[in-house]
Chains A and B, each alone.
Chain A
């Protein structure tokens, strides 16, 4: 081992490679690197000791009030110039070491002279001598832009436009603010663009124009004009078409219309005259502006559009990209007319309105006293009208509205709260009569006939021997005639004193009728119809065969019609001679009404409303399905007969015997209807309700009394409705119109005087 080691060591020490023995790999590496260093040194170039040539042609020019621009001719060097050293005012150190042959020296004082020298240096740090000096002064705060616009070109864009472009000018005080474009040596510029292009439009076709441009700075200093250039506009036939509209937008405006808009087109040839709007390949509009509304469309339907722009030369662009929209859904139908409008007083100055909510309505318009504009527009089917004058009648109508519009106004309704209630001493079955002076006369179960002022105060009362269920009748001289359960017929003076009384055999439930000449009264008593002179003497008595609770009706020819419990409707001459009789098989408590043609209408306990000609021939019989104790009234147009039955119905039957409608009052209708001039039908019922019913059979309003209402209403000239109740009260209820209008028989006993005479 020793020999081996020594041999290896000796070999290593004597190795001809020249490497020698090294300790560690890094030792061998360093030996090799030393050889590399030697090779590198051997290959290295000779050191550069030659400086560059001296910079020549140094120039200095004031660039602005704070800068001077330097320039010089490049130096040469055997290796290469790496930079220059700029010296200002013989400074020891360079103020800058640019690598190019220009330098803008900044941060200088205004209008101050500075001198400069420059030397050139190479990478070895060899620098030339400094150049000859050059001096100049910074500018004052003013001057002109440095460069006149160059490279002006003019290219005809169309028959009416020329495109101009030029090279940007430099400005020593900052950016060029704008340029002035002059056409055909004009004194004033035709444009002052801020960029280096300009489209001169509105030119004449096939015409040569020359242009020149100057540049201006922020101080308003402008250069001289550039070199001019000229070109000729195109001929009209060579003009390009307008650009196609872009940005087409379609928006549904309604269920039948779509609004379109787009970005206006550019026309290099002339002026855009209009656009053509296409829907499914067909022109649907030619708007001048960049918007159009297509109407007459179908709801919920998609539509697609394109637009083309056309110019005054008749050229049109390509179609725009298509845009579409779907029309909105169709609006809802206009709601129906509100029904069931009712008005009730709610305090001295407030009226509460309610009506049946109308399907599809989003709001309602409430009109007061026929006003053209709504007094309110509530969203619910109710409204409180406040701030009203006390004791004043207000009339209302309501229309139902939604987004599509408003319905027609409902039938008018007014406050149905009684103006007053006059309390008698007994229940009232008697039906009031109204004198020419407005005095209301009504009998009571307390045996008294009351005369009540229209204000509700008692004028006088006259006590008979028993209850008064008969309805008073008023003569032309103001005499009030009324029968009593005490079997006497009374004639009272207008001041309430007794004029005469006629004692009969049987109680009087019937009501007297007064002949047209005012000389004769007809009234039922027991089973007899009695004729009495207005002087208080009985003329004759006709035995009807059954109780005569029916009140007689007198035709224009003097014929007296009356029903009886015998079930017969009889016709008598003024002399008491029966003309005819027609049986109904059931008692007739109802009192006859006479139509315009003389037809007599009367109800029967068998539920039939019958129509009988003046000659005694039954024209028709209409079954109301329940017994009838009410008496007929005829509509204002004379075509409909109204009557109540004991099943709670107020029925409307045409004068031809055909049902029109039936109103459910909720209680037996023994009361006889009264018809207002506006067609409203008033009637009471045994459930205590008093109803106002529209001509179409819908309820207008109702109010509830304290007991049954079998009295039949009378309507005053001011529209006030008077009716008695089983709660002993005589009510005065606000109405809308006076009695009847042209109705031939608008109420029980025919008229306000209760004459029973047609």
Chain B
């Protein structure tokens, strides 16, 4: 948890920005579609559990101007794979979350969110299934990169007439 760390620079949340993030226990990459929305691909892995999926972020202007906290809401959908004590299988999960991102510098930020996520899994050996709502706390560190110039260059004509 890095809440409360003061930032020394403005966060780079705007269209065309992107970040690489390390979360627990995984990593992801996020791209800002606009100054308020972003999509992220992420994967988490720990022993006998794998999650891979995507997140959608919405940064609503909930706080007064000048606040360095950036609250956000979002949704997530994942493919999951597991190996339990006597079971072995896969399934999916999906849910919503709310959190706050706090810039530490122009390139770094920390974030934490809490959400409810529904899991549906199936043991491929016995065919037994299990579903359940779980509350999930995610936190991580983001490193921002402005990829807009790069994208602009990629979109420009490659050959001059």
Contact = CB atoms under 8 A, between A and B. Distances in A.
Nearest to B76: A25
Q: Report, as a range, how many residues of chain B touch the other chain.
A: 35 or more
A32 B100 contact: no
Nearest to B49: A26
A332 interface: no
A21 B116 CA distance: 9
Contacts of A44: 86
A39 B49 contact: no
A39 B130 CA distance: 8
Nearest to A32: B119
Interface stretch (B13-21, B23-31, B33-41, B148-156): B23-31
Nearest to B82: A33
Contacts of B80: 25-26, 29
Given A24-B24, A35-B132, A1 B44 contact: no
Nearest to B122: A36
B157 interface: no
A32 B126 contact: no
B156 to A, nearest CB: 39
A31 interface: yes
B86 A37 contact: yes
A19 B129 CA distance: 16
Contacts of A35: 130, 132
B130 A29 contact: no
Point out which of A15, A20, A36 has the most chain B C-beta atoms below 10 A from its C-beta. Answer: A36
B134 A36 contact: no
Interface string B121-134: 10100101111111
Interface string A30-47: 111111110111011000
Point out which of A22, A26, A34 has the most chain B C-beta atoms below 10 A from its C-beta. Answer: A26
Contact of A22 (B50, B78, B135): B135
B121 A27 contact: no
B114 A37 contact: no
B135 A25 contact: no
Judged by DSSP, the binding face of A is: helix
A5 to B, nearest CB: 7
Given A5-B100, A36-B123, A44-B86, A26 B132 contact: no
A24 B128 contact: no
Contacts of B133: 15, 17, 19
A18 B133 CA distance: 8
B98 interface: yes
Nearest to A34: B84
B51 interface: yes
B87 A37 contact: yes
Point out which of B49, B69, B128 has the most chain A C-beta atoms below 10 A from its C-beta. Answer: B49
B100 A26 contact: no
B93 interface: yes
A32 B121 contact: yes
A333 interface: no
Nearest to A23: B137
B128 A36 contact: yes
Contacts of A20: 134-135
B107 interface: no
A233 B104 CA distance: 107
A12 B93 contact: no
B158 to A, nearest CB: 40
B82 A30 contact: yes
B136 A22 contact: yes
A21 B133 CA distance: 10
A8 interface: yes
A26 B137 contact: no
Contact of A29 (B49, B76, B138): B49
B58 interface: no
A32 B132 contact: yes
Interface in B71-100: 71, 76, 78, 80, 82, 84-87, 89, 93, 98, 100
Given A25-B44, A27-B136, A33 B86 contact: no
Given A29-B49, A33-B84, A33-B121, A1 B69 contact: yes
A33 B135 contact: no
Interface in A47-85: none
A29 B132 contact: no
Given A17-B134, A29-B93, A41 B86 contact: yes
A331 interface: no
A374 B134 CA distance: 118
Given A27-B46, A37-B87, 15 more contacts: A5-B100, A8-B114, A9-B114, A18-B132, A19-B133, A24-B25, A24-B46, A26-B26, A26-B51, A31-B134, A32-B119, A33-B130, A36-B84, A36-B130, A37-B86
Interface of B: 3, 23-26, 44-46, 48-51, 53, 63, 69, 71, 76, 78, 80, 82, 84-87, 89, 93, 98, 100, 114, 116-117, 119, 121, 123, 126, 128-138
27 contacts: A1-B100, A5-B3, A8-B98, A11-B135, A19-B135, A20-B134, A21-B136, A21-B137, A23-B24, A23-B136, A24-B24, A24-B44, A24-B51, A25-B138, A26-B25, A26-B50, A26-B80, A27-B136, A28-B134, A28-B135, A29-B134, A33-B49, A36-B84, A36-B89, A37-B84, A41-B86, A44-B86
List 5 tightest A-B contacts by C-beta distance, closest first: A28-B134, A19-B134, A12-B135, A36-B130, A26-B49
